[in-house]
Structure 1
Amino acid sequence: MVRFIFALLFSLFSVLPAMAQQYLWVQIEAQRTLTGAQSAARGYAAAGVEDVTGFALPGGWYRIALGPYAPQ
């Protein structure tokens, strides 16, 4: 039973990185505050830029990015 659980976890964690590589984002800006990041994202969206997304980063920063896009 322990081997089965180990094999299941190993296969799950070996597949996740491959799945994560199917899409990518292009960072266009980083902001120190959440309100600054939200304002920047709204500005890009109002200017007609499509696929604007935001992510929280370690250290309290926020990323403004375009995507997700296929690697091609």
Structure 2
Amino acid sequence: MKKHFITGLVILLPLTVTILVLGFLIRLLTQPFVGLASNFLAQLNIVNKGFLFLSPDQVIKYFSQFLIL
């Protein structure tokens, strides 16, 4: 049982580190421009409602990060 737990951790650790590093890089590259893009999207009034579990503000933030990249 202990061997399977350690094997699972060894498999999940690189995936977790990769996701954290990618998230950090995306935030680092898009942070200076998110305010500008968010204001632009808010003026266009594209998003009035949230999407799934995201609020309208979160949808605008993530969509602006996507546009910036």
Into which bin does the TM-score normalised by the smaller protein fall? 0.3 to 0.5
Give the alignment's TM-score, normalised by structure 1. 0.40
- Structure (1/2) with the larger helix percentage: 2
Question: TM-score if structure 2 supplies the norm length?
Answer: 0.41
